[in-house]
Amino acid sequence: MGIRLKVILPYLILTLGVAVFGAYVTITLVAGSQEERLRNQLLEAGRIVSDEFSLQDRQHLERALIVAYTIGLSQALQAGDRLVLEELARPQAEANRLEEIFLIDGQGQEQLHLLRNAQRVLERIDYQTGMGKSPWLTPLLVGSSDLPTRIFGQNPINGRYYHYTALSIVSNGKIAGVVVIGTSLDTILPRLKSTSLADVIFYDGSGRILASTLPGQLENATPESVFSLDQVALEQILQSSEIVYGENKVVFGRGYTIARDVLQIGRERIGIFGVVLPLDFVIEFSQSSRLNYSILFILIAAGVILLGDRISQALIHPLQTLLQASLAVARGDLNQRTQIRSNDEIGKLAQTFDEMTARLQARTAELQKTYAILEQMDRAKASFIEVAAHELRTPLTLVKGYAQMLVLKLKDEPEITALTHGILEGAERMQEIVGSMLDVSRIDSNILKIMPEDTHLSVVIGRACNTFKDALQERNLTLSIQGVDGLPLIQADPDQLYKVFYHLVMNAIKYTPDGGRINIYGHLVETDDGLTQVEIVVSDTGIGIDPEHHQLIFEKFYQTGEVYTHSSGKTKFKGGGPGLGLAIARGIIEAHRGKIWVESPGHDEINYPGSKFFVRLPLKVEGDEPNTTPVE
Ligand code: ADP
């Protein structure tokens, strides 16, 4: 996971979590408050209906009073003078836009009955409808009550339900009759609806629907009607002192909520009313608010995430630049700089990185300069070796030639012969050193060529060991050779390999004290690349080599210890040497595409830990075509 993802992921999860939670809480609160509003509106509508109906009844009462106290009306009623009655009552009814008025005499006879017909004309009904005999009027007619009374009753003419208010007409302390004022519920209810802003239903005392402002098919959605009252609900309403609400109905897929209460004037219960509000209002609102809030929170969350992304980018971009720069520096491009200039921690880190790179660049340049100087010096040394070796070769040959001649000429003079042999030995040693110098200069100039042929390593090693037969004997050293005879033939230059083992065996002799052991062991090995190679190990019981010199001794002229402590003879213990043997050995082995290295626990001239020189050679020299130029 990249650092950017590590930064942005928790932020993203947190933001989404907060957004979802926030949206949920807000939507719930909004929906809750909408429900609360709906309930309040319902209760308010109920209160308005109740108040408005009382007002309506008071109007009835006022109109009834005016009629009852119209001069001459009670006498006309007692006298049964219908003409006078109409003359007195009609103007009142017209002026007050009454829908229906009855004037009933003390015997329950309807002396005047005016009813507003469909054309809104106040028509006189001339036959008895039975209103005068209605039981609810009896207390007024018999004088057992002088209080006004009201009822929801069915109009005997048009069959519609009316709100009737009745008041007794008294003349000289006697009941002259009753005035009844009626208004159709179909007139009252729309008015109540427009003031309460809810649909209104009126029920009679037994819970039967009398009228409602609801659309007809809604009212009759089921045979019993959706909003009809069952006995339990009726009881609940009648017994409750407050409006009863909380009942929801679904009609034709639309939800409604209803609240019901008793309709009463003073203590008189006339019926029951219901106020109805559609639930769509809340559902739609909460749906639309849910959508709106969801969109709002999605937008806010997207904005916050975008902002977070920008912030993380601003943080991570310098880190990425720093990473790129450090990768480039690791690849060796020291010209790279981050160029980040800010005062924060990343800026300081980048600045430190730039300074480090600049310092590294300066050091590298210095080292390169020093390296070039050393290379130049090495080249000068190599050319000096080459020139010196070439220049020494001719006079040495002369010295050796003349010494050999002297030996021949003065063979009868043993004293001089002995001296001449000394000259000859010294010249040969010098020739050997010059030969080594030439080998090293060929290796340095890359002109050491090998002439590969089928080579028996046992023969080459045997030849090299044979050279030191006398020295081994003289120094009382034991030499053993193992496993070499069984090695396969390899493609190699036997003369060059001879030099390798010559130097290795000579070193083993030189650095092993008298009486020590030298062992040469050969075997086949498998390399990491799966190739089979021969490995020769030359080990001794000598002074050993400290690990810090293990690589350096293969450099030309590199010698451990103090040179002046070396003894002079080349096979004497710690005998002197020019420090070229291992450099030559390495040059030859590498020309064969092989490897040479040393293993030794360290230098110790008391315990003599010994050294092991490993030589690995491929069975066949692969790679460049070997040069056939013979090496002298
Ligand atoms: P030299 O002419 O001094 O022998 P070499 O190149 O052959 O030069 O060896 C380099 C140095 O490696 C020697 O001076 C010696 O210190 C160390 N060395 C080489 N072979 C051995 C060995 N078998 N045991 C201990 N030291 C050795």
Digit-coded pLDDT (tens) for 523-572: 999 998 889 999 999 999 999 999 999 999 999 888 876 655 544 567 88
- Residues 214, 279: Cα–Cα separation, whole Å: 14
Axis-axis angle for helices 3-68, 280-331 (nearest 10): 170
- Residues 359, 361: Cα–Cα separation, whole Å: 5
Q: Is residue 334 part of a domain?
A: no
Atom of ligand 1 nearest to the CA of 578: 2
The tally of domains found in the chain comes to: 2
pLDDT above 70 for 625: no
What residue numbers bound the domain in which 292 lies? 3-28+285-329
- Residues 301, 292: Cα–Cα separation, whole Å: 14
Co-location of 453 and 325 in the same domain = no
Here the CATH number for the domain that contains residue 556 is: 3.30.565.10
Higher pLDDT, 472 or 280: 472
Predicted pLDDT of residue 284:
61
CA–centroid distance, 489 to ligand 1, in Å, is 29
Q: Using the 3D structure, point to which of 300, 329, 358 is the last residue of a domain.
A: 329
The residue contributing the CA closest to ligand 1 atom 3 is 579
CA–centroid distance, 395 to ligand 1, in Å, is 29
Q: Is residue 11 part of a domain?
A: yes
- Residues 451, 631: Cα–Cα separation, whole Å: 9
Q: Is residue 347 part of a domain?
A: no
CA angle 301, 306, 312 (to 5 degrees): 125
CA–centroid distance, 528 to ligand 1, in Å, is 29
Q: Using the 3D structure, point to which of 329, 362, 392 is the last residue of a domain.
A: 329
Q: Which of 617, 595, 597, 592 is nearest to 539 (CA)?
A: 597
- Residues 379, 434: Cα–Cα separation, whole Å: 18
CA–centroid distance, 548 to ligand 1, in Å, is 14
CA–centroid distance, 216 to ligand 1, in Å, is 123
Report the pLDDT averaged over residues 224-228.
69
Query: SS3 of 214, please?
Result: coil
- Residues 336, 358: Cα–Cα separation, whole Å: 9
- Residues 427, 420: Cα–Cα separation, whole Å: 10
Higher pLDDT, 291 or 76: 76
Which tokens is 96 given?
């007050």
Q: Which of 97, 95, 94, 75 is nearest to 84 (CA)?
A: 75
Q: Which of 381, 379, 380, 397 is nearest to 434 (CA)?
A: 397
Instruction: With cut-offs at 50, 70 and 90, classify the pLDDT of residue 631.
Output: very low
Looking at 128-173, list the stretches that DSSP marks H as alpha helix, in order from N- to C-terminal side: 138-142
Q: Is residue 489 part of a domain?
A: yes
- Residues 503, 498: Cα–Cα separation, whole Å: 9
**199 neighbors 212 (Cβ within 8 angstroms):** yes
Digit-coded pLDDT (tens) for 113-163: 999 998 999 999 999 999 999 999 999 998 888 889 999 999 989 999 999
The residue contributing the CA closest to ligand 1 atom 19 is 507
pTM of the model: 0.52
Atom of ligand 1 nearest to the CA of 603: 25
Digit-coded pLDDT (tens) for 296-334: 888 888 888 888 888 888 888 888 889 999 999 999 999
Atom of ligand 1 nearest to the CA of 582: 6
Residue position matching structure tokens 């006078």: 84
The residue contributing the CA closest to ligand 1 atom 14 is 559
Residue position matching structure tokens 């609900």: 233
Co-location of 613 and 481 in the same domain = yes
**151 neighbors 167 (Cβ within 8 angstroms):** no
CA–centroid distance, 471 to ligand 1, in Å, is 17
Predicted pLDDT of residue 570:
75
CA–centroid distance, 617 to ligand 1, in Å, is 21
The pick from 559, 580, 588, 599 for probing ligand 1's pocket by mutation, whose C-beta has the most ligand atoms within 8 angstroms, reads: 559
pLDDT above 60 for 208: yes
Digit-coded pLDDT (tens) for 45-90: 999 999 999 999 999 999 999 999 999 999 999 999 999 999 999 9
pLDDT above 60 for 221: no
Digit-coded pLDDT (tens) for 581-618: 999 999 999 999 999 999 999 999 999 999 999 999 99
Output phi, psi for 567, to 5 deg: -80, 170
Predicted pLDDT of residue 21:
85
Give, as one character, the DSSP assignment of residue 562: -
Q: Is residue 104 part of a domain?
A: no
Q: Is residue 92 part of a domain?
A: no
For the chain, how long is the longest CA-to-CA vector?
205
Instruction: With cut-offs at 50, 70 and 90, classify the pLDDT of residue 480.
Output: very high
Q: What are residue 200's DSSP bridge partners?
A: 275
| 550 contacts: CB under 8 Å, gap ≥ 6 | 597, 598, 599, 600
Question: Minimum mean pLDDT among 92-101, 284-293, 568-577, 616-625: which range?
Answer: 284-293
Higher pLDDT, 115 or 624: 115
Predicted pLDDT of residue 28:
76
Ligand 1 binding pocket (C-beta < 6 A) is: 503, 507-508, 511, 540, 542-543, 545, 553, 558-561, 577-583, 611
- Residues 518, 473: Cα–Cα separation, whole Å: 12
Digit-coded pLDDT (tens) for 243-280: 888 788 877 777 888 999 999 888 889 999 999 988 87
CA angle 521, 526, 530 (to 5 degrees): 165
Residue position matching structure tokens 């480090």: 356
CA–centroid distance, 433 to ligand 1, in Å, is 15
Predicted pLDDT of residue 177:
94
Instruction: With cut-offs at 50, 70 and 90, classify the pLDDT of residue 39.
Output: confident
CA–centroid distance, 508 to ligand 1, in Å, is 8
pLDDT above 70 covers what percent of the chain?
93
Q: What are residue 163's DSSP bridge partners?
A: 152, 183
Q: Which of 267, 268, 259, 279 is nearest to 49 (CA)?
A: 259
The pick from 429, 509, 511 for probing ligand 1's pocket by mutation, whose C-beta has the most ligand atoms within 8 angstroms, reads: 511
C-beta atoms surrounding 328 within 10 Å = 15
CA–centroid distance, 65 to ligand 1, in Å, is 147
Q: Using the 3D structure, point to which of 304, 329, 354 is the last residue of a domain.
A: 329
Instruction: With cut-offs at 50, 70 and 90, classify the pLDDT of residue 510.
Output: very high
Digit-coded pLDDT (tens) for 388-421: 888 898 899 999 999 899 888 888 888 888 899 9
- Provide the CA 79 distance to its chain's centre, in angstroms: 101
Predicted pLDDT of residue 629:
42
Atom of ligand 1 nearest to the CA of 613: 23
Co-location of 314 and 456 in the same domain = no
> Sign of the C-alpha dihedral, residues 66, 72, 77, 82?
negative
The residue contributing the CA closest to ligand 1 atom 23 is 508
Predicted pLDDT of residue 219:
56
Q: What are residue 153's DSSP bridge partners?
A: 162
The residue contributing the CA closest to ligand 1 atom 21 is 507
The pick from 437, 520, 546, 553 for probing ligand 1's pocket by mutation, whose C-beta has the most ligand atoms within 8 angstroms, reads: 553
The pick from 562, 573, 582 for probing ligand 1's pocket by mutation, whose C-beta has the most ligand atoms within 8 angstroms, reads: 582
Atom of ligand 1 nearest to the CA of 554: 6
**570 neighbors 576 (Cβ within 8 angstroms):** yes
Q: Is residue 86 part of a domain?
A: no
Instruction: With cut-offs at 50, 70 and 90, classify the pLDDT of residue 381.
Output: confident
Give, as one character, the DSSP assignment of residue 563: G
**480 neighbors 517 (Cβ within 8 angstroms):** yes
Mean pLDDT of the chain: 88
Q: Which of 469, 488, 487 is nearest to 477 (CA)?
A: 469
- Residues 248, 274: Cα–Cα separation, whole Å: 12
CA–centroid distance, 544 to ligand 1, in Å, is 10
The residue contributing the CA closest to ligand 1 atom 18 is 507
pLDDT above 80 for 283: no
Q: Is residue 268 part of a domain?
A: no
Residue position matching structure tokens 């409604």: 256
Report the pLDDT averaged over residues 455-476.
96
Predicted pLDDT of residue 552:
95
Atom of ligand 1 nearest to the CA of 561: 16
Atom of ligand 1 nearest to the CA of 560: 16
CA–centroid distance, 558 to ligand 1, in Å, is 8
CA–centroid distance, 578 to ligand 1, in Å, is 10
